[in-house]
Amino acid sequence: MSPHTAPPVAILGTGSCVPDRVMSNAEVGAPAGVDDAWIVRKTGIRERRWAAPDQATSDLATGAARRALEAAGITADQLSAVVVGTSTPDHQQPATAAFVHQNLGGSRTAVSVFDVNSVCAGFMSALEAAHALVARTGGYALAIGADTYSRILNPADRRSVILFGDGAGAVVIGPADDAGGIRTSAFHIHSGLTGLIRVPAGGSRRPYDPAAHDAGLQYFTMDGRAVREFFMSTVPGLTKQFLHDSEVLPSDIAHVVPHQANGLMLDEMAPTLDLPRATVHRTVHECGNTGAASVPLTLDRAARSGALRRGDLVLLLGMGGGMSISFTLVEW
């Protein structure tokens, strides 16, 4: 647990951004040898968005950030931190967050700018890092989750290519104007399972070279069955423990914003969380699994729809490679 004793910090604005290009199940399924009916039956996904050739992760992150700044009523010059959660950065270096800061056009240079990588749980780590900075020093921060998984998918791998879409979501956090705000967070890692989700080549362990390319090691790989079994067996118990440690009753939770891994998995998991009053928010059917973007993108859509009301308790649930599970409790 990571309780913060400084003045409360709240989510002051949300934003999201997805590419214009809509990819149907027929388009992504054909090279993998599956059709629309098969994809809907296995995942609940009907379409997703893929980035244009000239779009990078930072472009989507910037779009989401601008909308979040507008919703919060502040400018880029007022930011003291920009933290981006992503596992598909623009480049190995510098940080994608640096490009976002550049794109936003802020003139202030005394800003903490960096990336974090918890794979699909990356936004949760970005939010916690930004929260800690704001709680200690004050000011405002951007926490962003953004990914362009279309760049690293094997078009012939039906286990992965059908699942992922590109997108970004962002929140502005700053001093709370009432008793609400970000209450607490918890993070868990099962590092013995790092092999379940990975991109084998492109790092210091296995540099990218012609041999790696010929072997297809530049592509995202996932043991989907094992990943699903892990999250289904682990998340419900950890959710109950988190609420107990947070001194919150399951019936107090009004909204759950989970990682949008797979629509059918969410259907199966939701009842096991034992949150009788909670609305489980979803974007997976129209956006697919957007990686680190899925929690903030879904949160933004819920906020803009008017579903989240002042005083509601919102549970953010991250699930990602590593294997990582994370929770953040927010009073809206």
264-315 pLDDT, tens digit per residue, is 999 999 999 999 999 999 999 999 999 999 999 999 999 999 999 999 999 9
Domains of the chain: 1-332 (3.40.47.10)
pLDDT at 180 (0 to 100): 78
For the record, the structure tokens of 37 come out as 């009916």
Q: How far apart are CA 194 and CA 208, in angstroms?
A: 20
User: Which regions in the chain score pLDDT beneath 70?
Assistant: 1-7, 179
- CA angle, 319 then 322 then 328, to 5°: 35
pLDDT at 1 (0 to 100): 42
pLDDT at 252 (0 to 100): 97
In 3-state terms, what secondary structure has residue 315? strand
Q: How far apart are CA 106 and CA 124, in angstroms?
A: 25
pLDDT at 179 (0 to 100): 63
Question: Helical H runs in 50-200?
Answer: 57-72, 96-104, 122-137
Q: How far apart are CA 200 and CA 195, in angstroms?
A: 9
Backbone angles phi, psi at 258, to 5 degrees: -95, 165
H or E segment to which residue 222 belongs = strand 221-222
- 171: how many CB neighbours lie within 10 A of its CB? 33
For the CA atoms of the chain, what is the radius of gyration?
19
Residue 110: CA count within 13 A, CB half-sphere: 4
185 neighbors 318 (Cβ within 8 angstroms): no
> What is the separation of C-alpha 32 from the centre of its chain, rounded to a whole number of angstroms?
26
187 neighbors 131 (Cβ within 8 angstroms): no
pLDDT at 2 (0 to 100): 46
pLDDT, one tens digit per residue, over 126-141 is 999 999 999 998 899 9
> What is the separation of C-alpha 237 from the centre of its chain, rounded to a whole number of angstroms?
21
156: CB partners within 8 A, 6+ apart: 31, 32, 33
pLDDT at 6 (0 to 100): 58
How would DSSP label each residue in 232-289? HHHHHHHHHHHHHHTT--GGGEEEEEE--S-HHHHHHHGGGG--TT-EE---HHHH-B
Q: Which residues are catalytic?
A: 120, 259, 289
pLDDT at 106 (0 to 100): 83
In 3-state terms, what secondary structure has residue 13? strand
